[in-house]
Structure 1
Amino acid sequence: MPRQFRLSLTAPPLWDRESFASSPTNLEALDSLDAWPAWPDGRLALVGPAGTGKTHLARDWAARTGAVTIEAASTGNAPLDLASLRGRPLLVEDADRRSEGDLVDDETLFHLINMAGVDGGCLLLTGRLAPVAWEAAVPDLRSRLNALTVARIDAPDDVVLQAVLRRGFEAAGIRPASDLYPYLMARLPRSAPAALAAVAALDEASIDQGREVNKALALAVLDFGDSEDDEDDEG
C-alpha cells in the first residue's frame, strides 16, 4: 500500500484561558494569576512539572497584560536593555534553566526581580521547581528567590490529561474512536508529554499502516503490557 500522508492541520498554539483545561491540579495557579496586579512585591513564580500548562497560563497572562516575554533558556540573543524594561510587566520563561541560555544570568535576574513592583512593573517567572531549588551563585539573588511567592501546578488529572489528548489529536487532524480516551487515560502516566508522545506514535502508525486510530492500534503500538483481548476492535 502506498504511504499515506495526512494533510497538516496544525494551527498555531492557543494560549488563551478559554482553551485551558482547569481542574483542582491548577486552581492555585489560576487564582494566583488572576490576583495580579496585587502580587506581593509585584512578583510571582509559576512552577510545576513539564507539560502541566505553565507556558499556556503564562502566555495568556502576558497577552492580557502586554508583558514582555523573555525566554531564559534561549541562545543567540542580544543583551537585555534593562532600562527599557523598567516599569513594564515582564514574563521570564524557564527561569530555572537560564544557565542553558545567554539572556538571563544571575546578575540580570537579580535586577529583573528588583525592578518588579517599581513604577508599575511586575514579574512572572516560570520553572519546573520552586525558586528555592534554583541555582544562584549571587548571594543577593539567592535571598530574592527564596522570598518569591510561588503558585504550583500539579501533574495532570483526568480532566487535564483528556484535554491534552484531545488537543493533540485535533492538531494532527485525527478523529479517534471515542473509547480510545478512557483506554489511554487508564494506562498513560500522569504526564502531558507522555500523552502527546502517545498521540504522535499513534499518528505515525496510522499513516504507515493505513489504519484507524482506535484501541486496537493503541494495543499494537503502545507498550502498555495489555493482552490481545481487543482484537475485535481491529480496523
Structure 2
Amino acid sequence: MAEQLSLNLPARPALGRDDFFVTPANAVALGLIERWPDWSGRKLVLIGPEGAGKTHLTHVWAALSGGGIVAASDLPEADIPTLARSPVAVEDVPAIAGRRSAEQALFHLHNLVLAEGHSLLLSGQSEPGQWKLSLPDLASRMQGTTVARLDQPDDMLLTALLAKLFADRQLVPTPGTIPYLLRRMDRSFAAARALVERLDRASLSQKRPITRAFAAKVLNAN
C-alpha cells in the first residue's frame, strides 16, 4: 500500500482545569495548586517526571492566580520588575544550573515577587536539592520551599493520559484500543507520549484509523 507523506503538525494540548484528570498520583499536588493563597512563604516547587503534567498544572495555577509563566532559561532577557508585579511561575529551574546570569535573575525575581506580596511557583523534575544551582543563596531558598510531587501514573491516570494525548491530536481510537495499549506499554508519561506519536504517524502515513488491530500491527513492527 502506498504511504502518504506525513506532516509533523504540532498537537494542541488542552491545559484547562477541566482537562486535568485527578487520580491518587496527582491529587495532592493539585490540591496544593488550588490552595495557592495558603502556600507557606507564598511559594511552591512542583516536581515530577517528564510529561507528568507540570506544565498543565502550571497553567491551571496561572488561570487561578492571574499569574504569568516564564521559562527559567529566558530569565536573563526578561523584565524582572514587570514580572514581579503579579504572581509568576518559573518552569524548568534545573535548566539554568551553572548559568550565573540566569541564576542571578531568578534570585532577584524570587526576592522581588515575595516582597511585592505575590506568589511564586517553580518547577523541575527532581527535588530542589538535586538542581545543582551554583548560587548558594538561590539554592538555599529553593531547598527551603514546600514541594508538591507528581508521581508516575497509575492505571487510571495512564488511561486518561492516553485518551487526552489522542484527543490533543484529534484522534479517536476505537473502543478497546486504549486498554490494549495499556497492557503492553512501558508505564510512564514519556512512553505514553511516544506511543501516541508513533501511532499518529503510522495512521497518517498508511491512511488507517487507529484500531486495536492496527495498534497491534504497529507495536509488532520491527
TM-score (norm 1): 0.83
CA distance 1:181–1:106, change in 2 (3 Å): same
Q: Which residue of 1 aligns with 2:93?
A: 95
Measure how far apart 1:199 and its partner are. 1.5
User: Which blocks of at least 5 consecutive residues in structure 2 are unaligned?
Assistant: none
CA distance 1:95–1:157, change in 2 (3 Å): same
C-alpha contact (below 8 Å) 1:45/1:151 kept by paired residues: yes
Distance in 2, matches of 1:214 and 1:103, equals: 51
What per-residue deviation string (whole Å, max 9, x for no partner) do you get for residues 37-93 of structure 1? Answer: 11111110000001011100101111222212111235xx76222222334201101
SS at match of 1:105: helix
C-alpha contact (below 8 Å) 2:88/2:121 kept by paired residues: yes
The letter for the 1-side match of 2:81 is A
Indicate the structure (1 or 2) with the bigger Cα radius of gyration.
Answer: 1
Aligned length: 222
C-alpha contact (below 8 Å) 2:97/2:131 kept by paired residues: no
What per-residue deviation string (whole Å, max 9, x for no partner) do you get for residues 140-166 of structure 1? Answer: 112111101100000111222112211
C-alpha contact (below 8 Å) 1:8/1:172 kept by paired residues: no
Q: Which residue of 1 aligns with 2:54?
A: 54
Q: Which residue of 1 aligns with 2:63?
A: 63
1:139-158 map, 5 Å: 139-158=136-155
Measure how far apart 1:99 and its partner are. 4.5
Measure how far apart 1:6 and its partner are. 8.7
User: Which blocks of at least 5 consecutive residues in structure 1 are unaligned?
Assistant: 226-235
Cα-Cα RMSD: 2.8
TM-score (norm 2): 0.87
Distance in 1, matches of 2:207 and 2:12, equals: 27
1:1-235 map, 5 Å: 1-4=1-4, 12-74=12-74, 79-99=77-97, 105-223=102-220
More helix by share: 2
Distance in 2, matches of 1:44 and 1:92, equals: 11
SS at match of 1:117: helix
Distance in 2, matches of 1:103 and 1:93, equals: 17
Distance in 2, matches of 1:111 and 1:36, equals: 21
